[in-house]
């Protein structure tokens, strides 16, 4: 406890990396001020907290003036005077004031902005860096990044079904080494794409990964990544991974997946994955099946000896994760705080995951700003894994912040996931 009652909470409409409106929330206390920008997904899952938009003429309906009013006129009076370091009390008040499962009343974007700005103000009031405020004296785990070098799905033009074809520098000893190796592979991949597919193939998607024209088969994307890794002399130091985001090419009517020109049944797709992990050094697959298919994901988890990450499947929601655990679906939780709305609920989901032997991968959204609370939270949670795109300022700032934290923790930091999450 500190002498830091919340004095004022304000919000403004700002722009994210897609030039789309989002919120910046500021929380003031006599002992320190906190500010946080709100991220927004494009490939959002069906079970996420409600994203409140004005729906009027401004910004094609995407304005967030109503969410700003929710912060200033409804949330601020409720929270004024509360101790800013009592995060659980603040978040419980937010959940109670909203009163719905998916934050439909206030808006998930309003709620998450306040919850994060309160967290930041708490760190400021106690004089601690955010990662240490969240993780305590023991915070020391720098996360291993999953770099999205080739993008598809909802995040890029073209017909690539898989949303992210990631490279994972599993052999690196530090985030500094991981970032440098990956940058070299990224340049090399750019050279290959430019010479074989034309300069336009080096255009990037929402998370800064390449969007090569004509590379529509996931196997070709992985092949290209392997070639770039080998050309740099890093064979064996990198593994591969994917966010399949399979709900986006699933047709619930016919119960088939539209992949590589075929209407695949679940069994076909499972066979496709078995072949994929036999052929390439894949260690992790995110959302490999439809977001409602707990039984299917459980079956796949049994069959494949790789990490199976639930993003849209769990929506960072303790209840959905509990259902997944009961089914034996997945081995890792993708952790996106705005899917659920408050720091406390998201932390509860992470704790539930860890207690049940699930790994936690902290994640960006495709829409965000250069605000770096994500990097700090990844270290604070001790998650050991992060995905935050590859290029563009709002992604590289996360890496820059991880480099800074790693330097701060010189001599005591460890790098990557604890345990054997990536080699089951």
How many whole angstroms separate alpha carbon 304 and alpha carbon 241? 13
Could you tell me which of 103, 95, 64, 62 has the C-alpha nearest to residue 79? 95
Catalytic residue flag (residue 207): yes
Sites of contact with Zn ion (CB under 5 A): 243, 245, 311
Query: Per-residue x/- mask for ligand PGA, residues 305 to 344, rule CB under 6 A?
Result: ------x---------------------------------
245 binds ligand PGA (CB under 6 A): yes
Q: Which of 48, 151, 164, 207 is catalytic?
A: 207
How many whole angstroms separate alpha carbon 318 and alpha carbon 347? 9
Q: Which of residues 365-384 bind ligand PGA (CB under 6 A)?
A: 365-366
Q: Is 296:269 a contact under the CB 8 Å cutoff?
A: no
Query: CA angle, 130 as apex, 399 and 132 as ends, to 5°?
Result: 100
Tokens of 352: 């539930």
243 binds ligand PGA (CB under 6 A): yes
Name the binder of 291 from ligand PGA, Zn ion, none, CB < 5-8 A by kind. Answer: none
Q: Which of 48, 188, 336, 387 is catalytic?
A: 336
Q: Based on CB atoms, which residue is closest to ligand PGA, 154 or 184? A: 154
For the CA atoms of 374, 406, 29, 316, the dihedral, rounded to the nearest 10 degrees, stands at 30
**Which one of the spans 60-68, 72-80, 181-189, 360-368 is the region binding ligand PGA (CB under 6 A)?**
360-368
Could you tell me which of 47, 165, 147, 197 has the C-alpha nearest to residue 364? 147
Q: Which of residues 63-122 bind ligand PGA (CB under 6 A)?
A: none
Helices then strands, counting H and E runs in the chain, come out as: 14, 16
Name the binder of 391 from Zn ion, ligand PGA, none, CB < 5-8 A by kind. Answer: none
Catalytic residue flag (residue 387): no
Residue position matching structure tokens 């605000």: 371
394 binds ligand PGA (CB under 6 A): no
Q: Tell how far CA 113 is from the center of its chain.
A: 16
**Which one of the spans 117-125, 277-285, 359-367, 401-409 is the region binding ligand PGA (CB under 6 A)?**
359-367
Query: Per-residue x/- mask for ligand PGA, residues 27 to 66, rule CB under 6 A?
Result: --------------xxxx----------------------
For the CA atoms of 133, 136, 139, 144, the dihedral, rounded to the nearest 10 degrees, stands at -50
Could you tell me which of 146, 181, 144 has the C-alpha nearest to residue 166? 146
Q: Report the nearest approach of ligand PGA to the CB of residue 397 (Å).
A: 16
Q: Based on CB atoms, which residue is closest to Zn ion, 23 or 245? A: 245
Coil/strand/helix, residue 129? coil
Tokens of 271: 């066979």
Query: Per-residue x/- mask for ligand PGA, residues 152 to 171, rule CB under 6 A?
Result: -----------x--------
395 binds ligand PGA (CB under 6 A): no
For 308, the enclosing helix (H) or strand (E) is strand 307-310
Q: Which residues are catalytic?
A: 207, 336
Residues that bind ligand PGA (CB under 6 A): 41-44, 163, 243, 245, 311, 363, 365-366
């Amino acid at each position: 406890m500190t002498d830091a009652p919340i004095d004022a909470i304000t919000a403004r409409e700002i722009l994210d990396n897609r030039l789309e409106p989002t919120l910046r929330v500021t929380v003031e206390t006599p002992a320190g001020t906190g500010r946080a920008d709100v991220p927004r997904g494009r490939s959002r899952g069906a079970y996420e907290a409600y994203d409140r938009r004005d729906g009027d003429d401004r910004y094609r309906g995407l304005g967030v003036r109503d969410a700003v009013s929710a912060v200033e006129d409804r949330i601020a009076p409720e929270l004024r005077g509360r101790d800013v370091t009592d995060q659980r009390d603040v978040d419980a008040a937010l959940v109670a004031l909203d009163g719905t499962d998916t934050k439909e009343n206030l808006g998930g974007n309003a709620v998450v902005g306040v919850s994060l700005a309160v967290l930041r103000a708490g760190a400021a009031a106690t004089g601690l860096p955010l990662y240490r405020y969240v993780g305590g004296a023991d915070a020391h785990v720098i996360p291993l990044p999953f770099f999205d070098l080739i993008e598809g799905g909802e995040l890029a033009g073209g017909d690539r079904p898989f949303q992210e074809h990631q490279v994972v520098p599993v052999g690196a000893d530090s985030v500094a080494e991981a970032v440098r190796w990956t940058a070299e592979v990224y340049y090399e991949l750019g050279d290959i794409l430019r010479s074989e597919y034309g300069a336009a193939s080096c255009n990037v998607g929402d998370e800064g990964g390449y969007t090569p024209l004509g590379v529509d088969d996931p196997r070709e994307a992985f092949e290209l990544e392997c070639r770039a890794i080998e050309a740099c002399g890093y064979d064996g130091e990198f593994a591969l991974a994917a966010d399949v985001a399979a709900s986006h090419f699933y047709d619930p009517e016919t119960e088939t997946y539209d992949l590589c020109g075929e209407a695949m049944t679940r069994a076909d797709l499972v066979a496709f994955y078995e072949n994929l992990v036999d052929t390439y050094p894949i260690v992790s697959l995110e959302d490999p099946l439809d977001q409602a298919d707990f039984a299917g994901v459980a079956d796949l988890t049994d069959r494949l000896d790789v990490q199976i990450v639930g993003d849209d499947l769990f929506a960072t929601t303790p209840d959905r994760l509990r259902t997944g655990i009961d089914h034996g679906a997945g081995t890792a939780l993708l952790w996106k705080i705005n899917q659920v709305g408050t720091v406390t609920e998201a932390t509860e989901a992470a704790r539930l995951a860890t207690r049940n032997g699930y790994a936690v991968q902290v994640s960006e959204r495709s829409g965000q700003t250069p605000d770096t609370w994500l990097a700090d939270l990844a270290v604070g949670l001790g998650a050991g894994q992060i995905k935050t795109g590859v290029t563009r300022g709002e992604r590289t700032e996360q890496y820059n912040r991880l480099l800074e934290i790693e330097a701060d923790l010189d001599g005591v930091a460890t790098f990557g996931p604890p345990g054997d999450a990536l080699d089951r």
